[in-house]
A and B are shown apart, each in its own frame.
Chain A
Amino acid sequence: MISLHSQSSMLGRCGRFFATLILSSASLAAHDMWIEPTAFLPDAGKIIGLRLRVGQDLLGDPIPRDPALINQFISVDSSGPKPVVGRDGVDPAGLVRVAAPGLLIIGYRSNPSPIVLPAAKFNQYLKEEGLEAISDLRARQNQTGNDAREVFSRCAKSLVSSGIPTEAEADRALGFPLELVTLKNPYTLRAGEELPVSLTYEARPLPGALVVAMNRMNPAAKLTARTDKNGRVTFRLPESGMWLIKAVHMIPAAAGTNADWASFWASLTFELKSPATGAAAR
């Protein structure tokens, strides 16, 4: 299932950005969270900072390392997973040394945080994030007009590549409750090519979920798709540069959590090569 925006070649980059921001203004109820490495294409041996960002349309604020929030913060390379180190209270929240050439998978999973949203804001957020099933459930339970108590968890990943990428190197599941996994190494792709992505909830494919992809240069020209029965979507990514792919899943909160709903926010960032240069600049 593919849903693509027009590449709108008639628009200048600046004009497109105006357009994208106007669109983004409708999407204000909830904030995305993603990992922004200080370099997506570092040389082996380099240390890179891992900035956690919360915001909208890839305009974000840095989040310092908070040990109370971290459930898992790991990097995975060919030698296996390692904890991401960092200084508490400091941005960037993590530092990682790129030990060897290859694909480095960064994963950050937060502990659940409570939040209370007014009914209107919560309903708007459900609509924006494609969570109609929850809207329907609230309607059936006559809760649409009620404020919502929610606990949200972040499940953010980032892919970093060092050296010459190969198709043999692949993203993989880190065991997060909600998780996006690219089914091809995006560093072997160029702008205009297709990237298949899977979405799992508790290690099982999640069908019918809204997945959104956006590029840093044009963040509101979003690519959107619903996962198929195998929990997969495929995006044709038209632009080079940094991409954010995201999805949100919500379930009724477990008893005893003092919340009505539990949400999970998956994100995945990486950088795509330019088709013109053949290899992304370093």
Chain B
Amino acid sequence: MRFPVPSRLHNWSARLVISCLAATVFLPGAMLDAHEIGTTRVSVAFRQSASYEIEIITDAAALVEKLQALSGVPPQSDQAGENASLHSAAVLQMLLKNYDQVFRRRVAAAFDGAAVWPSIDYAVSGTATATSSPVAAIKLTGAVPQGARHFEWTYSWTFATYSLTVATDGDTQTTEWLEGGQRSTPIPLSALRKAPRNRAAIAVQYLALGFTHIIPKGLDHMLFVLGIFLLGRGLRQILGQVSAFTIAHSITLSLSVYGIVSVSPKVVEPLIAVSIAYVAIENIFISELRPWRVALVFAFGLLHGMGFAGVLKELGLPRSEFVTALVTFNLGVEAGQLTVIGAAFLLVGWYCGSRQWYRRLVVVPASVLIACVALYWTVERLSL
């Protein structure tokens, strides 16, 4: 097989070539084939059916190389140093912005078959090393046309298989695997356009989410509350500590959700484990509640609040009922904690709490067990 190579290439022919490339280089049309899964992923979110946000995460240098090829820019040399420009996140981001018009040629968001013209924001982060590559996060945003019934998506800047995830307002997600150039199956917007839920429904949902975050999902928080319970002599002391904990975590939960306070989970999660271990170990060595204990529980409550906020952010808060969801989630957490204490009181505190052997046979062994688990979590979370 031998391909002819033209001996000359004039300006007009170069323009013709570019036009041809735009039409032919990357794979058009639906395909049945399945190639290797690449690093590109696309997520689509509809906001109350009024606007859409599409995020494309992809390898920045690979995308720029293709944009340059389609624009007629020769590939970078392999020689070290000469291709350094494609290693810089700032340069890649600038190039992506410059190639905006070229990029749009191979991307199609359509409602009822009619393509829309989104606003596109390009961001690149990360550095090129032996172990990593700069990643592009490309956001396409716009308004959903009134009365639109279906959404379709086509992305032709990858040769690999990629995932298209569609979500609405933090509710369920659906994922479709697509080839580069393959059009998605039409996504019915009616299925996404659920009737707006009323305040009571949202309150019940987030109350349940808060409760289940403690029971059964929050074993670490349960052990912390049990640690508080074990040192309490009587309901008053227990509720004093629980109140301090509640006030504290309510403060940081609210501040974190509003973005006023932000601490990495890599810091918060190991510290939460340390706080559980501390309370349990202290239970072993002191038998009476000291004033500093309440202050410490308050401080630990600030930490746990940031942990709750991380979960709440993952769950997502409906914009229309932000405060309702925040307050009811917090109430759900309180209900979970009080349930743990109530159950512990009924199981051991009520009958055994005043017995002489209670500390020796219940408080100390249980605290040792909690401390061991918490220390294990501390090590585990530090290694993540």
Answer yes or no: are A and B bound together in one complex: yes
Pairwise interchain contact B3-A92, C-beta atoms closer than 8 A: no
* Interface size, A (range): 35 or more
For the complex, is B6 an interface residue (Cβ under 8 Å from A)? yes
Give, as a whole number of angstroms, the nearest-CB distance from A48 to chain B.
5
List, in ascending order, chain B residues with CB within 8 A of A216's CB. Answer: 75, 78
Pairwise interchain contact B72-A18, C-beta atoms closer than 8 A: yes
Contact A40 B78 (CB under 8 A): yes
Q: What 0/1 readout, one digit per residue, does chain A (38-73) give for beta carbons within 8 Å of chain B? A: 111100001111011111101111111010010000
- Point out the residues of chain A lying under 8 angstroms from B180, CB to CB: 61
Q: Which of B25-33, B46-54, B163-171, B324-332 contacts A (4 or more CB under 8 A)?
A: B25-33
Are A55 and B130 in contact, CB atoms less than 8 angstroms apart?
A: no
**Smallest distance from the beta carbon of B155 to chain A beta carbons, Å?**
12
B159 touches A60 (CB 8 A): yes
| Segment 1-54 of A: residues with Cβ below 8 Å from B | 3, 5-6, 8, 10-19, 21-25, 28, 31, 33, 38-41, 46-49, 51-54
A191 close to chain B: CB less than 8 A = no
The reply to whether the CB of A172 lies closer than 8 angstroms to some CB of chain B is no
- Given the complex, which residues of B lie within 8 Å of A56, measured CB to CB? 159
Encoded as 1 (CB less than 8 Å from any A CB) or 0, chain B from 63 to 75 comes to 0011001001111
Report Cα–Cα, A228/B15, bound state, in Å. 41
Query: For the complex, would chain B's binding face be called helix, strand, loop or mixed by DSSP majority?
Result: loop
Counting CB contacts under 8 A, is A95 at the interface?
Answer: yes
The stretch of B16-24, B96-104, B255-263, B341-349 in contact with A is B16-24
Does B33 lie within 8 Å of A95, measured CB to CB?
Answer: no
- CB pair B39 A62 closer than 8 Å: yes
B30 to chain A, nearest CB (A): 9
Are A61 and B40 closer than 8 Å at their CB atoms?
A: yes
Contact of A62 with B79 at beta-carbon distance under 8 Å, contacts A25-B20, A25-B21 already known? no
In the complex, chain A residues whose CB is within 8 Å of the CB of B314: none
User: Judging by beta carbons under 8 Å apart, are B34 and A61 in contact?
Assistant: no
Q: Which of B1-15 contact A (CB under 8 A)?
A: 1-3, 5-9, 13-14
CB-based contact B32/A280 at 8 Å: no
Interface centre among A62, A115, A242 (most CB of B within 10 A): A62
A21 touches B133 (CB 8 A): no
On chain A, the residues within 8 Å of B36 by CB distance are: 33, 52, 54, 63, 66, 69, 113
Interface set, chain A 77-133, CB cutoff 8 A to B = 91-92, 95, 113-118, 121, 130
Q: Find chain B residues with CB under 8 A from A114 CB.
A: 34
Interface contact A217-B75, CB-CB below 8 Å: yes
Q: Is the CB of A15 within 8 A of B14?
A: yes
7 new A-B pairs (CB below 8 Å) besides A24-B25, A95-B131, A116-B33?
A: A13-B74, A16-B5, A55-B159, A61-B38, A62-B62, A69-B36, A241-B78
Selected A-B contacts with CB under 8 Å, 8 pairs: A11-B7, A17-B72, A18-B18, A22-B21, A49-B130, A63-B38, A92-B130, A121-B31
